[in-house]
A and B are shown apart, each in its own frame.
Chain A
Amino acid sequence: MFDLTGKNALITGASGGIGGAIATALHGAGAQVALSGTRVEPLEALARDLGERAHVLPCDLSDAEAVDALPKQAAEAMGSLDILVNNAGITRDQIFMRMSDEEWQSVLDVNLTSAMRLCRGVMRPMMKARWGRIVNISSIVGATGNAGQANYAAAKAGLVGLTKSIAYEVASRNITVNAVAPGFIATAMTDKLSDDQKGKINAQIPAARMGQPEEIAAAVLYLASPEAAYVTGSTLHVNGGMAML
């Protein structure tokens, strides 16, 4: 099950905890992977760990021109582009009354607009191939909201609307577009929280623990697989029961 041999995948934010786990899972299923991110060192370390079938394509997702060029670079490096995982995300948390235009815009640019640009960039090759998989990494807060994250929640909710709309347009071409919405996952992003904050979070999770990056990667692997051909426009919530949507 879930054999991606011969498929080529581009993963953004692959230098992070969840992105790295996604790349590792797709690679483990036989896919060739293009690892994108801003921090070159962790990308190259991951590529070394994976060995063959791994390419490093650094990209600043706040740079529109660089984002537009990325799908082509990935297709050139791998021969084609069959799977796109828009995983990259940043936070600029701030209570809404104090949120600056810059805090709003930078989060929207990286978390939403770059995903739109990459989706647009992969459409042509996927339409021609009559096969494609796009997985956008949303977030539980896109559905529930979260104090201090108006920008992040808006971008993550925006990804769901983007996902569904593109899914409508390209379903007849065997291209599926889905979202995965992680709850609280143990990564560098959540390491910044204090023990007290973590305890409060865990108390709200029926599973009574944070998720692991590999548990998000497994959801992405499924949605990227041939077995998920009939699943499109959906959001798969992976949150330990924190929000049952």
Chain B
Amino acid sequence: MTVVALASDETLLVLKLAFLVLLYAFIILIVRTATKDIGGAPQESIVLGAADAAALRARYGLQPARFVVVSAPGLRPGSKIEVSASMIVGRDAGSGISLDGDEFASTRHARIDPRPDGVWVEDLGSTNGTFVNGEQIGSRRLLQTGDVLRVGGTELKLES
């Protein structure tokens, strides 16, 4: 054993403080890196993974959701839109349903998600909000047949 110096109460105190400070620094480090990569694929339940869910949908022959355009700046009224998998509605050209020309719609406005229990719509933090039958939705909402969904200046009606 190589003796470097005699320890005193002060060095012990410094060590104790260093230990505690470093321990909390370590925790903060882990928490910060841990919160960075949260997210990923949204999943329906803790048991059903995305792959399992897709397989189940295929097996039970899930019906695609059919919408009719009521009024829209960029789409032809009366035209039909089919949504067979989770899809984003927005002004972004890469959106599943692109609302190019609708100035009131956000880039990524809302998500339409057909699930075994029905068609869900979720607002993705849009500027002007998402409305169902004129009523603004908080986060997620299950649509009924005949419901009118308003995204920006675009109105879509759910058909059976």
A binds B: no
